[in-house]
Chains A and B, each alone.
Chain A
Amino acid sequence: MTQLILQSVASGILVGGMYGLIALGLALAFGVLKVLNVAHGELLMLGGYASFFAFTFWGIDPFLSMPLVFLAMFLFGIGLYQFLFRYVTRTEIHTRIKNSLLISFGLVLVLQALAVRFFTADERTISTSYSLEAFTIGPVRVPVVRLAGLVVAVAAAITLEWLLSRTRFGRALRATSEDWTRAALTGVNVRRVYMIAFALSAALAAIAGSLVSLGYSISPSIGLGWTLKALIVVVLAGLGSMRGIVVAGVFLGLVESLASVWLGGKYREVVALGLFLVILSFRPHGFFGKAHA
């Protein structure tokens, strides 16, 4: 029993890192553009396929292809912004959130259908030579590929934090997310900030996708399930707050994983939903959120 619980704690932390990484991109787009992209999970799915095909066709290791996938989805994100979300960001804030939700909801269906058409509905996983390897710490098994996921998530969070707090671009980004009109008045190119923030968000989803196709599995329909977890994490951390996202992700992973020991894996999503409702009822602005968020 102790071993089971310890193992659940370990896998909860590992999957929680993924939740955090996915939520990071979602929160970035929401924080800066005030655009809630529920097709975030579909961007993850596309990133996962990119890594998968790079591995199967050219034998490129997913960790090597990750920068390429990042870049490719960054460009794809720019395209999505230019052709779609740019029009949403022209409306006032209330309409903007609602319309972005509706539009990305349509996008979910479009990207899913396209993925079924071009990649078939089969479930796929990248199996490398090290896929089955694992560390054993006492009674607990830690699969290498999943640990790598956690490491990448933490690294991405730290890089993003550095980018936001230490660079000139980060300052422009924070200014825009607080008040775009005043940011524009001080000379910030708001459109460019929006475009780059959205592209970064898409690229973050894509590297999460690479890790999912390595440590878990991908299929055209996985998107919404991961989006669900990311949304819960974002709300846990407080809408509009970037800090504490990975912590909130790990927290969700732990709760789910431990609850699965009691209830069985079938009710994982119900536990997540319950947690979401309870937290929102008692802390409407999340753990780390400010009241105005």
Chain B
Amino acid sequence: MASSVKHMRRGTSSIAVLGVLGMLAAIGLVSENQHLLTLTIQTMVLGALASSWNILGGFAGQISLGHAAFFGLGALVTRELWLGGTGLALAMIAAVAITAVAAVVVGVPILRFRDIYFSIGTLALGVAVFITAGNLWPGITSQPAEALRNYDFTAPYFVALGVLLTTVAVSLWLKHSKVGLGMMMVRDDEEAAKATGVNSFAHKMIAFVISASLAGLAGSAFAFFSVSYYPNFAFSVLWTFEALLVVFIGGIGTIVGPLFGAVFFMVGRDLLPTGIGEFQVVLFGLLFIVVVLLMPGGLTEAAGRLVARTRRPETETTEKTPTATKGKELT
């Protein structure tokens, strides 16, 4: 799962990141259209969630299938505190802090498992937490009626934008920091990383905690934005799935990939007729399968190849990401 952005020059990818963020920001400042605003806020929350997954899955190479547990926890804490009368900022800080602590507690046993065991462990975590949340909080949570009568999109919009910008900023910093490089070494070859003195457990732990905290932050934006939902919905495996889908469509291990992916997914879903109901999930599920099998670098890699081809057709690289390497064909 090597960083596929190498096909694209750094300048191109920064422009792409700024472009997506600028577009999302512009919509909120210009538009009064409620449907468009809702879509934008949802895109930003999903983009933030996907970027947070990408730190653990894309940078550190640990494929988590239980990311929704932290999204849900952040949403739960924020919602309870905020509806209980605490200020939003304080509620969000508390949510991130609690999520971080939870990540440390869970991370100590779970990060000792490697590869497949880590994925199984996080899947088990996600499913167990989802079922338990449903058992413990069966009732629906709603914002008070008077708040709904004059629901204002401005505050949720800026909260979601702030959350997305924070997540992207952290990702950017990580990508070029020493810690981030250590994570990528662990991803590419854990044994080699250890041999050169990289503490693989510590690096995975840092990635896990940052990733979980940011997922919690995205969850708190969701909790602040949503009118009413069942508390266990925020823990649903759908969130993990959407994060994975968005990251893989966009391009795993890149900064711009999750943003591209989120826009693609939300716009795509919006363009599909609502009448088809569950077939939306079916379509995106199939799309996910196709992307994993056929284009493991996602849109970013495809775009990068295109850019590389137009610029330097003679040096087109044929190198593939490890996910794309095919083993010996069966006889």
Contacts and interface: CB of A to CB of B under 8 A. Distances in A.
Interface stretch (A11-19, A68-76, A93-101, A138-146): A93-101
B202 to A, nearest CB: 18
**Which residue among A99, A106, A276 has the maximum number of chain B CB atoms within 10 Å of its CB?**
A106
Interface string B108-149: 011011011101110111011101100110000000000000
A228 B110 CA distance: 16
A20 B168 CA distance: 44
Nearest to A114: B282
Contacts of B286: 106, 110
B325 interface: yes
| Interface residues of chain B: helix, strand, loop or mixed (majority) | helix
B279 A225 contact: no
A166 interface: no
A266 B125 CA distance: 15
Nearest to B112: A281
B136 to A, nearest CB: 6
A88 B323 CA distance: 11
Contacts of A231: 120, 123-124
A257 B309 CA distance: 61
B271 interface: no
A96 B325 CA distance: 11
Interface in A77-103: 84, 87-99, 101-103
Contacts of B330: 89-90, 180, 184, 190-191
B314 interface: no
Contacts, number: 148
A181 interface: yes
A280 B327 contact: no
A107 B125 contact: no
Interface in B296-330: 322-323, 325-330
Contact of B119 (A92, A101, A268): A101
Contacts of B26: none
Contacts of A228: 123-124, 127-128
Contacts of A103: 289, 292-293
B44 interface: no
B292 A99 contact: yes
B18 interface: no
14 contacts: A36-B120, A102-B292, A103-B289, A103-B293, A105-B241, A106-B289, A109-B285, A110-B281, A110-B289, A184-B330, A224-B237, A239-B117, A266-B135, A269-B129
The 9 A-B residue pairs with the shortest CB-CB distance in the complex, in nearest-first order: A92-B327, A110-B285, A113-B281, A269-B128, A113-B278, A273-B128, A266-B135, A117-B278, A106-B288
Given A87-B293, A98-B116, 7 more contacts: A91-B326, A99-B293, A103-B292, A225-B127, A266-B135, A267-B132, A284-B113
